[in-house]
Structure 1
């Protein structure tokens, strides 16, 4: 995974599941990991959580302003990319938007 052009180190397993008409991808640990919810054919990305990136929890939620995400599927490989938003811990808090790309193979 890259965020703002920088490769992110994510440790842990990749878990891919179908649930309630969606396809869920979880990578790594709960706090520092990545979670993606999309349609099984990758036509629509519903949400992306990128975890804590340099002190900011970044994410995308379909229908909310400030970010966007698209996905492609080739066999069992998914590429999810777009922009995610988050709020810094600085005072005053600042909204940031960062580009991201996730490449993951589900087996």
Structure 2
């Protein structure tokens, strides 16, 4: 998850270089993430370890749904979250990115 947020903080919303264990991001999802972060008006920073203290996940029977708290330069922990689901795969886990928003 950290590598996804780190890429978003660099402005790589399409994850152009690909990330192991992360499904490709559609153009529509990349656009939504970029626009929502830009509209929020703060600079996203890399995911700090303390983000896991407040992020949440729930087991849905065949996957984990998670809301990961995002951090910005000015605010620290922001109101933004990254919504993903995490499924088991042969070699570990696969993360699917859905959107960034303020719940």
TM-score relative to the length of structure 1: 0.35
Q: More strand per residue: 1 or 2?
A: 1
Give the TM-score normalised by the residue count of structure 2.
0.36
Q: Which protein has greater RCO, CA pairs closer than 8 Å, 6+ apart?
A: 2
